Amino acid sequence: MLTAEAIEAAADVGLDLVEVSPNADPPVCKFLDVGKFKYEAQKKANQARKSQRTQEIKEIKMRPNIDDHDFDTKMKKVVDFLGEGDKVKLTMRFRGREMAHLELGLAVLQRVAEQTAEIAKVEAHPRTEGRQMLMVLAPK
């Protein structure tokens, strides 16, 4: 159909002639309401943005001489966070003379890494920054 005829036919129906795929041979056009078409495209883009999820970093703080029950409670939260697809930053805080025994904190962080080995990988191995030791876990 000639372009002039197509524009005239679209005007008779009360719609606009919109070029859908200009690279095709011959180019493909449709009779559309442009305002409605733009609205639908915007609605689709908003829905896509809503459904995508950003990965957050959740932080769990511990002490080197943490008790078993407290450790288990913290581990439940770590597993929950990893299950939701978030990264987990484990912070081991040292106070006073605990700085002389960094190996205790390292042992606790290694215990966490062993227990979460099936569902997470260690993204940042334990490192000391001042009076803290940090480790980051990411879901597999």
CB 28 within 8 A of CB 18: no
Q: For the chain, which residues make up each domain, given as ranges?
A: 3-51, 57-139
pTM for this prediction: 0.64
CB 10 within 8 A of CB 17: yes
- Name the CATH superfamily, with its identifier, for domain 3-51: Translation initiation factor 3 (IF-3), N-terminal domain (3.10.20.80)
**What are the 10-residue block averages of pLDDT along the chain, 140 residues in total?**
86 86 86 87 90 86 94 95 93 93 93 93 92 94
Q: Going along 28-131, which residue ranges are E strands?
A: 28-32, 57-62, 87-93, 120-129
C-alpha to C-alpha distance for 112 and 89, rounded to whole angstroms: 11
Which fold would CATH assign to domain 57-139? Translation Initiation Factor IF3 (3.30.110)
Q: What is the pLDDT of residue 76?
A: 96
Integer-rounded Cα Rg, in Å, for the chain is 29
Q: What is the pLDDT of residue 106?
A: 93
Question: Nearest 5 degrees, angle CA 14-CA 17-CA 20?
Answer: 140
How, if at all, do strands 87-93 and 57-62 pair? parallel
Provide φ and ψ at 134, rounded to 5°: -115, 145
CB 108 within 8 A of CB 71: yes
Beta bridge partners of 89: 59, 136
Q: What is the pLDDT of residue 64?
A: 93
